[in-house]
Amino acid sequence: MAYKRQIDQLPIVPKDAKEFNVTCHYCIVGCGYKAYTWPTNRQGGTAPEENKFGVDLSKQQQAEAVAWYAPAMYNIVRQNGEAMHLVIKPDKDCVVNSGLGSVRGARMAEMSYSRQRNTQLQRLTEPMVWRYGQMQPTSWDDALDLVARVTVGVINDMSEDGLFVSAFDHGGAGGGYENTWGTGKLYFGAMKVKNIRIHNRPAYNSEVHATRDMGVGELNNCYEDAELADTIVAVGTNALETQTNYFLNHWVPNLRGTSVAKKNAEFGSEPVERGRIVIVDPRRTVTVNACEVEAGKDRVMHLAINSGTDLALFNAWLTYITDKGWTDKAFIAASTKGFDKAVASNKTSLEEAARITGLTADQIQKSAEWIAEPKQGGARRRTMFAYEKGLIWGNDNYRTNGALVNVALATGNIGRPGGGCVRMGGHQEGYSRPSDAHVGRPAAYVDRLLIDGKGGVHHIWGCDHYKTTLNALKFKQAYKKRTDLVKDAMSAVPYGDRDGMVKAIMAAIKKGGLFAVDVDIVPTKIGEACHVWLPAATSGEANLTSMNGERRMRLTERYMDPPGQAMPDCLIAARIANHMERVLREQGKAKYADQFKGFDWKTEEDAFMDGYHGHEKGGQFVTYERLRAMGTNPGASGRLRRWQDHRHKAPVC
């Protein structure tokens, strides 16, 4: 039977409740929300002057109401030590979602740490260390002293190459400009760590090298382009489920034809009509179904290709479009090199592609027409290409990704209204770090090196190899064996004997052991093997800046306390740096210790000002004050589309 909460009323947000800007931290779309907090002993009333919305709440609210929130949007949390009511509801004025809430974002309040209402109690709240055979709580200073001494010890023995790091590189929860800078400044600034990997892949590399090597950053349009396109080409993306409000608020209006007025306003006399969509996916997804419902089956083409055959399809498109003379010759001349060579070397006939993909030659030809056949009067067709895991997590990612970008370039659909060749993305972005050039290419295959017994200390930030790496069982077997060596050594020393403890750990490392430090918001699977757990704060428990899939940068304000002693990752990184500096000075290594200066941050805003504000192009114009003032809507769409101005340089997932 269906679960029912048996909740039939909620406290009303009073007129004087505090209001905070919130961007949903769960996915790349970054829907705008507002958080409201007020003391637990107070509540608003139904009269318009008694509630935050100025609405008569004694009346039934209509569809898409501003003044309604579901039980999932309510909780009781702590704010500056006091218990407070919390409501987080979608922001109707945010142009990203226009008040829509997904099953992720619309549960942000319910998914907050609350001891009053017993939600999310699995959080890490105190630093924990391996002591006498189990993880036990301790102070930050004690835990960080141990981390610093062992890390410095390993670097003394093995150089910085003995320090292995797994770290998030993204925005949203478990990331953000503050925290990628904090970890980046520690590992790429103070040190030059090269054995480092990203949260969801075993090396420090891009998921979309090809498009970057072609000079096309993967987030190169804005969400409004989906409303303006003549045709959307969706490859390996199930947008209704995974970028829900982007699809509902920006794709659907085009498919329904309700964005035609916007097209007329933007393109003047150019012929425009309701959009079409080509979906490349071996599965018939709910996205395909929704597109057919909205646009009609005659404007939706579902190409259910054989899995892993995208490359042949894209090359057939390129060949057919070029043969027909539908390419954008001026754009090609101005913005590409070696185009004719690319066409020649990728030549694929409709029949050959049909044989490989399992489609018919007619389907491939018709879809090429939807992509590139000039409109009435010879106007170039505006086509937006969107791709995600179905493409990039397939084999032969590099060539497949490049082949799709080829079609977008051939048809002049990069950096133009109604165009773009973009990742749909996973989570938001928020990359700001010193150069990673020393990592090299190909980047070290970190998980393989760990299996092979390399490295002496491992710092893990918001990653869980046990659940996500390749060959996970083998990794787990090797990792457990290595970390158990250290655990057994630690258990044999009285915990108060720090000198003896570090010596025992270092001796175990020399025998092939590995000392592991896990920074996370919750206990993880790989954490079971670790010797230190450091509790981190998440979005809303700290100020956090990120950008969404159209590079719209926003600040989620701190509206509640982190649980226990948890801290933002940037401050944890800073405190590790402080302790490493102290230990190095103790050891008489003053010159090396000096590299760990500049981590005297007290708040996450300090990290933001040092990082994004101080180091990114144009960052000098971005402050918390300005981001607060711009709320959930910074960045006019036209500016977002001119992506060359905002060249995205992050490894993305």
Partner 1 sequence: MKRCQMMVDVGRRKFLSGAGMAAAGIAAASVPITQANAAPPTARVNYPSNRLANVNDLKLNEPLNVSYPDNDAPGVLLKLGKRVADGIGPDGDIVGFSTTCPHKGFQLVYNKSDRTLNCPGHYSRFDCEAGGLQIWGHATQNLPQYVLRVDAKGDIYAEGVDELLYGRLSNVL
At its nearest, how many Å lie between partner 1 and the CB of residue 63?
4
Sole window of 58-66, 114-122, 277-285, 624-632 interacting with partner 1 (rule: CB under 8 A): 58-66
At its nearest, how many Å lie between partner 1 and the CB of residue 107?
5
Check residue 404 and report its DSSP letter.
H
Region of 552 on the Ramachandran plot (φ > 0 left; ψ -120 to 50 alpha; else beta)? beta
Calculate the dihedral angle through the C-alpha atoms of 483, 489, 491, 494, rounding to the nearest 10 degrees. -140
Sole window of 53-61, 163-171, 503-511, 545-553 interacting with partner 1 (rule: CB under 8 A): 53-61
**578: phi then psi, degrees, rounded to nearest 5:** -60, -45
**Residue 62 or 345 having the CB closest to partner 1:** 62
At its nearest, how many Å lie between partner 1 and the CB of residue 253?
13
Q: Is 65 in the site for partner 1 (CB under 8 A)?
A: yes
**Residue 37 or 183 having the CB closest to partner 1:** 37
User: How large is the angle between the packed helices 140-158 and 498-510, nearest 10 degrees?
Assistant: 40
**Residue 241 or 323 having the CB closest to partner 1:** 241
At its nearest, how many Å lie between partner 1 and the CB of residue 3?
6
Q: Is 602 in the site for partner 1 (CB under 8 A)?
A: no
Token reading at 433: 């770090």
Among 20, 38, 69, 223, binds partner 1 (CB under 8 A): 69
At its nearest, how many Å lie between partner 1 and the CB of residue 301?
20
Distance CA 122, CA 90 (A): 26
Sole window of 97-105, 312-320, 328-336, 399-407 interacting with partner 1 (rule: CB under 8 A): 97-105
Which residues, numbered 155-194, are part of the site for partner 1 (CB under 8 A)?
none
Q: Is 73 in the site for partner 1 (CB under 8 A)?
A: yes
Q: Are 95 and 88 in contact (CB under 8 A)?
A: no
Distance CA 131, CA 493 (A): 9
Check residue 437 and report its DSSP letter.
G
At its nearest, how many Å lie between partner 1 and the CB of residue 244?
7
Q: What number of residues does the chain have? A: 653
At its nearest, how many Å lie between partner 1 and the CB of residue 35?
16
**Residue 71 or 434 having the CB closest to partner 1:** 71
At its nearest, how many Å lie between partner 1 and the CB of residue 6?
6
Among 12, 86, 478, 526, binds partner 1 (CB under 8 A): 12
Q: Is 60 in the site for partner 1 (CB under 8 A)?
A: yes
Q: Is 72 in the site for partner 1 (CB under 8 A)?
A: yes
Q: Is 57 in the site for partner 1 (CB under 8 A)?
A: yes
**Which residues have CB under 8 Å from 314's CB, separation 6+?**
400, 403, 404, 406, 407
Question: Could you identify the residue written with the tokens 């705008």?
Answer: 32
Distance CA 212, CA 208 (A): 7
At its nearest, how many Å lie between partner 1 and the CB of residue 59?
7
User: How large is the angle between the packed helices 361-372 and 310-323, nearest 10 degrees?
Assistant: 60
SS3 497: coil
At its nearest, how many Å lie between partner 1 and the CB of residue 103?
6
Mark residues 493-532: x for contact with partner 1 by CB under 8 A, - for none: ----------------------------------------
Sole window of 67-75, 372-380, 525-533, 548-556 interacting with partner 1 (rule: CB under 8 A): 67-75
Among 7, 121, 344, 590, binds partner 1 (CB under 8 A): 7
Among 62, 118, 345, 376, binds partner 1 (CB under 8 A): 62
At its nearest, how many Å lie between partner 1 and the CB of residue 78?
23
Q: Is 71 in the site for partner 1 (CB under 8 A)?
A: yes
**Residue 5 or 602 having the CB closest to partner 1:** 5
User: DSSP characters for 365-403?
Assistant: HHHHHHHHS--GGGPPP-EEEEE-HHHHTSTTHHHHHHH
Among 16, 41, 49, 63, binds partner 1 (CB under 8 A): 63
Distance CA 444, CA 192 (A): 13
List residues bridging with 276 in a β-sheet.
231
Q: Is 4 in the site for partner 1 (CB under 8 A)?
A: yes
Q: Are 49 and 55 in contact (CB under 8 A)?
A: no
Q: Is 8 in the site for partner 1 (CB under 8 A)?
A: yes
Write out 61-102 in H/E/C secondary structure. Answer: CCCCCCCCCCHHHEEEEEECCEEEEEEEEECCCCCCCCCCCC
Q: Is 121 in the site for partner 1 (CB under 8 A)?
A: no
Q: Are 580 and 596 in contact (CB under 8 A)?
A: yes
Check residue 195 and report its DSSP letter.
S
Token reading at 225: 């382009």
Among 35, 52, 78, 110, binds partner 1 (CB under 8 A): 110
Q: Is 473 in the site for partner 1 (CB under 8 A)?
A: no
Which residues, numbered 240-299, are part of the site for partner 1 (CB under 8 A)?
240, 244, 248, 286, 289-290, 293
**462: phi then psi, degrees, rounded to nearest 5:** 60, 35
Sole window of 56-64, 346-354, 435-443, 605-613 interacting with partner 1 (rule: CB under 8 A): 56-64
End-to-end CA distance of the chain: 37
**Residue 45 or 500 having the CB closest to partner 1:** 45
**Residue 286 or 629 having the CB closest to partner 1:** 286
Write out 224-269 in H/E/C secondary structure. Answer: CHHHHCCEEEEECCCHHHHCHHHHHHHHHHHHHCCCHHHHHHHHCC
Sole window of 101-109, 179-187, 264-272, 620-628 interacting with partner 1 (rule: CB under 8 A): 101-109
Among 59, 341, 591, 617, binds partner 1 (CB under 8 A): 59
Q: Are 145 and 439 in contact (CB under 8 A)?
A: no
Distance CA 491, CA 488 (A): 5
Could you give the angle at the alpha carbon of 115 between the alpha carbons of 110 and 121, nearest 5°?
70
Q: Which residues bind partner 1 (CB under 8 A)?
A: 1-10, 12, 57-65, 68-73, 99-103, 106-107, 110, 240, 244, 248, 286, 289-290, 293
